[in-house]
C-alpha cells in the first residue's frame, strides 16, 4: 500500500538532515513569540515569512487572520491539509516553571518522557506552546519545504500540500477553523480531502476524541432579605437536588466507547445572583462541561438535563430552571468577531479506514513503529471529521501530558522523526485512490 521506495525514503531523510537545524530554530522562535488567543498576528507573520522562504507556491492570510500555504505536486491528486493552531493558553504562575522562561524557548538536555510516558532524557525546547502546538507547527511548515526540495530533485508528487495555521482554537469554539473551511477556502476556489492535525500525539497516529458541550443551567428563586430567608426562595438550595442527580444518576449512566472511554459531565463553575451577603439569591448558574461520544449531540446532552429539570419541577412547584448551550463572542486580531456556540463534535476514524492505513504504511516504510491513540482533550478536528466527515488523523512530535502545564516542552529528536513521518504520510496518502478519502462513518 506504500508508494515510497528506498530512493524516496533516502531522499526524505537526506533533506530532513539538511532542514533540521533551521526547523528547530524556527520552532524556538515560535515559542519565543507570545500568541495568546486573539493576539496571533506576529506569529502569523512568522509563519507566512517562513513558508515564503521555504519556497511554497502560494501563501496568504484570510480576513480572520488564519494563514494558508500551498505546495503543488507534479501530478493531479487530492489536497491534504496539515493543520496547526497558532494560539496558546496563558503561562500561568511564572514561579511554577522550574526556572524556565515561558517565552524563552530555551533548548537543553533534560528529563522527559519517551513515547510510552516512561522517564527518558533528550534535548527539548521549553516554553509555553512548545507542546501545544508550536513545535508541531514548525514541523508541518517544514514538511511543505521538504516537499518543495523533493520536487526540485525530480521526484513525482501528487496533489496539493496545504498548511493551515488557524486562530483561536484554545477557546474551543473553532471560530478560526470554521471561518477557514466554510468561507476562506470556497472563496479561494480551494477545498481539502483529508486532514493531519499537529496536536500532540507522541509520534503515534491519533484517531479521534470525545466532543465537548458547555451548558449553562440557570435555577430560579426569589429574593428576600438575608435576615428573613423564609420570605424568599433560595436558588442555591433549589439547585442542590439538581446537582445531586447530575452527579449520582446522570454521570454513571452515560455511555462508553471502546476507544474514547466514557462520556462525562463535570460541574465546574457555580455562581449566584445578586451575589450579596444580605440578599437571598434569585438565580444560581451552573456551568457544565459535558464530553460526548460519537452518536451524541449537544441537543441530546441538553435533553438529558431537561428531563431532570422537568422531573424536579413536577415534584416541586417552586423549582424552576432552564438549560442552554453557552456561547461566546470571539474577536480575532484582525478585528473580525463571531458569536459561537461552545459545542465541539466528537469523532473517530477506524484504523481500517483507507487514509489511516495509508498513513500507517507510510510510517512503516520510513522505519517508524506505528502505534495508535486518542486524545483526552478536544481539537479543531471536530470540524474536519466531526462535522465535515473528512478523513482526519493526528501525528506530531509533541506529548499530550505537557500541554497547558508549566513543564511545557518538546523533544527535538521527535521533531526530526516527525518531519520524515509527515512527508512520508503526505506522499503515500496523496497517491491513494478514492477509498482513502471516503466519508468517515461511525
Contact of 157 with 80, CB cutoff 8 Å: no
Of 281, 297, 329, which residue sits at a domain end? 329
Domain boundary at 297, 329, 361, which?
329
The pLDDT value recorded for residue 172 is 86
Q: In terms of residue numbers, what domain contains 151?
A: 6-209+346-437
| Whether 117 and 39 share a structural domain | yes
Same domain, 70 and 152: yes
pLDDT along the chain (442 residues), means of 10: 94 98 98 98 98 98 98 98 98 97 98 97 98 98 98 97 98 95 98 98 98 98 97 98 98 98 98 96 98 97 98 98 97 96 97 98 98 97 98 98 98 98 98 97 94
Residues 181 and 224 in one domain: no
Considering the domain boundaries, does residue 31 fall inside one?
Answer: yes
How far apart are the C-alpha atoms of 53 and 381, rounded to whole Å? 28
**Within this chain, do residues 192 and 75 fall inside the same structural domain, yes or no?**
yes
Tally of domains within the chain? 2
With 0-12 CB in 10 A as exposed, 13-18 as middle and 19+ as buried, what is 327?
middle
Model pLDDT, residue 229: 97
Residue 251, domain member (yes or no) = yes
**Which cell numbers hold the place of 371?**
502505534
Residues 6+ apart with CB under 8 A from 122: 109, 110, 112, 411, 412, 413, 414
Which pLDDT belongs to residue 1?
A: 75
Same-domain pairing of 249 and 323: yes
Query: What pLDDT sits at residue 45?
Result: 98
Q: For residues 117 and 107, what is the distance between their CA atoms, to the nearest angstrom?
A: 21
Q: How far apart are CA 386 and CA 59, in angstroms?
A: 27
164 and 47 inside one domain = yes
* Residue 31, phi then psi, degrees to nearest 5: -65, -35
Domain assignment present for 341 = no
Both 262 and 355 in a single domain? no
Which residues partner with 131 through β-bridges?
none
CATH of the domain at 160: 3.40.630.10
Q: Can you tell me the distance from the alpha carbon of 329 to that of 347, in angstroms, rounded to the nearest whole number? A: 25
Any domain includes 284: yes
How many CB atoms are closer than 10 A to CB 15?
22
pLDDT at residue number 282? 98
Q: Is the CB of residue 384 less than 8 Å from the CB of residue 390?
A: yes
What pLDDT sits at residue 419? 98
User: Long-range CB contacts (< 8 A, 24+ apart) of 231-235?
Assistant: 231/280, 232/280, 232/282, 233/280, 233/282, 233/318, 234/280, 234/281, 235/272, 235/281, 235/282, 235/283, 235/284
> Is residue 340 one of the residues assigned to a domain?
no
Coil, helix or strand for 21? helix
Which residues partner with 262 through β-bridges? 256
Same domain, 263 and 366: no
181 and 295 in a single domain? The answer is: no
Distance CA 140, CA 112 (A): 22
C-alpha atoms less than 13 angstroms from C-alpha of 182 in its C-beta half-sphere: 10
Check whether residue 99 and residue 138 sit in a common domain: yes
Adjacent-strand bridge partners of 392? 195
**Does residue 149 lie within any of the structural domains?**
yes
Task: Note the pTM of the prediction, 2 decimals.
Answer: 0.96
**Residue for grid cell 504562575:** 93
> Is the Cβ–Cβ distance between 425 and 361 less than 8 Å?
no
Strand, coil or helix: what is 185?
Answer: helix
Q: Is the peptide bond before 274 cis (omega within 30 degrees of 0)?
A: yes
Q: Is residue 355 in some structural domain?
A: yes
Name the domain boundary from 295, 329, 363: 329
What is the Cα–Cα distance from 145 to 292, expressed in whole angstroms?
38
Q: Establish if 339 belongs to a structural domain.
A: no
Residues 21 and 131 in one domain: yes
Instruction: Based on the fold, state whether residues 308 and 361 are members of the same structural domain.
Output: no
Please give the pLDDT value at position 29: 98
Spatial distance between the Cα atoms of 378 and 171, rounded to a whole number of angstroms: 11
Residue 266: give its domain's CATH number.
3.30.70.360
Amino acid at each position: 500500500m506504500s508508494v515510497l521506495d528506498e530512493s524516496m525514503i533516502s531522499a526524505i531523510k537526506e533533506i530532513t538532515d539538511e532542514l533540521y537545524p533551521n526547523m528547530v530554530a524556527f520552532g524556538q522562535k515560535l515559542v519565543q513569540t507570545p500568541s495568546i488567543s486573539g493576539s496571533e498576528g506576529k506569529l502569523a507573520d512568522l509563519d507566512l515569512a517562513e513558508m515564503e522562504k521555504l519556497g511554497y507556491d502560494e501563501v496568504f492570510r484570510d480576513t480572520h487572520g488564519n494563514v494558508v500555504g500551498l505546495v503543488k505536486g507534479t501530478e493531479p491528486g487530492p489536497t491534504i491539509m496539515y493543520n496547526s493552531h497558532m494560539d496558546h493558553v496563558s503561562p500561568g504562575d511564572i514561579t511554577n516553571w522550574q526556572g524556565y522562561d515561558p517565552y524563552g524557548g530555551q533548548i537543553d538536555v533534560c528529563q522527559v518522557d519517551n513515547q510510552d510516558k516512561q522517564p527518558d532524557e533528550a534535548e527539548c525546547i521549553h516554553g509555553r506552546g512548545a507542546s501545544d502546538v508550536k513545535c508541531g507547527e514548525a514541523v508541518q511548515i517544514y514538511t511543505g519545504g521538504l516537499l518543495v526540495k523533493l520536487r526540485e530533485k525530480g521526484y513525482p508528487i501528487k496533489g496539493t500540500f496545504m498548511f493551515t495555521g488557524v486562530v483561536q482554537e484554545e477557546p474551543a469554539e473553532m471560530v478560526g477553523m470554521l471561518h477557514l473551511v466554510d468561507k476562506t477556502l470556497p472563496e479561494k476556489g480551494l477545498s481539502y480531502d483529508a486532514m493531519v492535525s499537529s496536536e500532540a500525539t507522541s509520534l503515534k497516529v491519533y484517531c479521534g476524541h470525545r466532543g465537548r458541550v458547555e451548558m449553562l443551567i440557570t435555577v430560579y428563586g426569589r429574593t428576600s432579605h438575608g435576615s428573613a430567608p423564609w420570605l424568599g426562595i433560595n436558588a442555591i438550595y433549589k439547585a442542590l437536588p439538581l446537582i445531586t442527580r447530575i452527579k449520582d444518576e446522570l454521570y454513571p449512566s452515560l455511555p462508553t466507547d471502546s476507544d474514547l472511554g466514557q462520556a462525562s459531565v463535570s460541574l465546574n463553575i457555580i455562581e449566584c445572583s445578586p451575589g450579596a451577603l444580605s440578599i437571598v439569591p434569585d438565580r444560581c448558574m451552573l456551568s457544565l462541561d459535558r464530553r460526548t461520544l460519537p452518536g451524541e449531540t449537544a441537543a441530546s446532552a441538553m435533553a438529558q438535563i431537561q428531563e431532570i429539570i422537568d422531573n424536579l419541577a413536577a415534584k416541586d412547584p417552586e423549582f424552576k430552571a432552564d438549560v442552554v448551550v453557552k456561547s461566546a463572542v470571539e474577536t480575532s486580531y484582525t478585528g473580525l468577531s463571531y458569536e459561537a456556540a461552545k459545542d465541539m463534535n466528537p469523532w473517530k476514524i477506524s484504523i481500517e479506514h483507507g487514509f489511516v492505513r495509508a498513513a500507517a504504511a507510510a510510517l512503516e516504510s520510513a522505519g517508524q513503529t506505528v502505534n495508535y491513540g486518542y486524545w483526552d482533550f478536544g481539537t479543531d478536528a471536530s470540524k474536519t471529521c466531526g462535522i465535515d466527515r473528512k478523513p482526519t488523523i493526528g501525528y506530531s512530535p509533541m506529548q499530550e501530558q505537557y500541554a497547558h502545564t508549566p513543564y511545557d516542552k518538546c523533544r527535538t529528536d521527535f521533531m526530526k522523526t516527525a518531519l520524515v513521518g509527515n512527508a512520508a504520510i503526505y506522499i503515500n496518502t496523496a497517491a491513494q485512490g478514492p477509498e482513502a478519502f471516503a466519508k468517515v462513518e461511525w
